[in-house]
């Protein structure tokens, strides 16, 4: 297949290497020093003590890659506007677009089954409706990534979760389709786990439960996820925040399994904290403001989430990384 990874940073570059080594023709939309190194020397993926190398096409101009059989967007929520600008030249008549990002996606209400509670107005996740106007419903495939990666040098990505690298996918209306089954087989064949998912929004909320609680606490404290989880000062805070997060998720998707503070926590900084420290735009809307809007629409009281959201917005605004 001809596959474009749109927004090939850490996670996207990891997937690009895996897919290229599985025999696919991979093109990456990327920028900066990472782009220049990949154009000259290819991509390097470090997994434990091992190293994988792959040659891929790379450009900051999507038009240079031509029409694709599949587009996988690994852009963060703050960068999906560039997808609206660059997607057109990548699309053939039937090219699907996997939209994989953290948090609540702009397309959440698109194809929503009638038995699901209606979401709040999420227009703030797609300013001006640019994505909604340019990506037809039939192209949309929801995606949820479980994989920790870091660009450690231009052209070099380290995988920090060698035992857990997943891309869960599903149609936006949750119907079973042959193209989803085919794409899962393709991903599994590239060592990217993609088990069946009954409802893509269940997967979205399952990951969001951790991001809207533990990851945001990492942002506020400057600590790794493991350090926050093990911090005595957080022993009462985390369960209370998770209780609120669970109540929101289960109101909208009752099948979502409750998350508790027990369980493993990686000893690294989540992406929202990395973005803050590097002075990059932050996914506050998708990770914090959107869940808070869902809570209000459901009439749920979430004082902990409201407080954490306000503090996160203030912290980002003080550094010039967030504007309402």
Q: How far is residue 105's CA from residue 24's CA, in Å, rounded to a whole number?
A: 27
Task: Give which of 127, 16, 32 is closest to 82, Cα–Cα.
Answer: 127
CB 71 within 8 A of CB 91: yes
Beta strand pairing call for 57-59 and 25-29: parallel
CB 15 within 8 A of CB 72: yes
CB 49 within 8 A of CB 24: no
Give Cα 308 to chain centroid, integer Å.
Answer: 21
Q: Would residue 315 show up in a list of annotated catalytic residues for this protein?
A: no
Q: Which of 55, 207, 257, 319 is catalytic?
A: 207
CB atoms within 10 A of CB 136: 11
Give Cα 223 to chain centroid, integer Å.
Answer: 21
Q: Which helix (H) or strand (E) holds 106?
A: none
Q: Where are the alpha helices (DSSP H) in the chain?
A: 10-21, 32-41, 81-86, 130-134, 178-189, 200-210, 216-221, 225-230, 237-252, 271-278, 284, 290-298, 303-318
Task: Give which of 105, 102, 151 is closest to 125, Cα–Cα.
Answer: 105
CB 318 within 8 A of CB 309: no
Which residues face 5 on adjacent strands? 28, 72
Q: Catalytic amino acids?
A: 207
């Amino acid at each position: 297949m001809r596959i474009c990874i749109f927004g090939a940073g850490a996670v996207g570059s990891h997937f690009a290497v895996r897919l290229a080594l599985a025999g696919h023709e991979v093109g990456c939309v990327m920028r900066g020093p990472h782009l220049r190194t990949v154009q000259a020397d290819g991509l390097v993926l470090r997994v434990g003590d091992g190293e994988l190398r792959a040659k891929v096409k790379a450009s900051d101009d999507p038009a240079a890659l031509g029409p694709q059989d599949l587009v996988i967007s690994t852009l963060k929520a703050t960068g999906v506007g560039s997808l609206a600008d660059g997607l057109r030249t990548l699309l053939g008549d039937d090219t699907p677009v996997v939209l994989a990002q953290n948090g609540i996606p702009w397309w959440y209400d698109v194809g929503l089954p009638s038995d699901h509670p209606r979401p709040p107005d999420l227009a703030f996740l797609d300013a001006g409706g640019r994505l909604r106007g340019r990506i037809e419903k039939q192209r949309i495939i929801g995606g949820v990534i479980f994989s920790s990666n870091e660009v450690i040098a231009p052209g070099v990505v380290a995988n920090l979760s060698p035992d857990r690298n997943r891309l869960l996918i599903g149609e936006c209306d949750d119907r079973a389709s042959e193209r989803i089954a085919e794409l899962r087989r393709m991903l599994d064949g590239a060592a990217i786990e993609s088990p069946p998912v009954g409802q893509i929004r269940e997967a979205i909320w399952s990951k969001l439960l951790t991001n809207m609680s533990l990851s945001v606490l990492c942002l506020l404290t400057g600590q790794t996820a493991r350090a926050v989880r093990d911090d005595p000062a957080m022993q009462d805070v985390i369960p209370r925040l998770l209780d609120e997060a669970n109540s929101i998720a289960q109101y909208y998707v009752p099948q979502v399994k409750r998350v508790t503070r027990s369980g493993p926590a990686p000893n690294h900084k989540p992406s929202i904290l990395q973005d803050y420290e590097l002075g990059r735009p932050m996914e506050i809307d998708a990770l914090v403001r959107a869940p808070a809007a869902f809570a209000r629409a459901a009439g749920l009281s979430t004082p902990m989430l409201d407080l954490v959201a306000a503090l996160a917005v203030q912290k980002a605004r003080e550094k010039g990384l967030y504007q309402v």
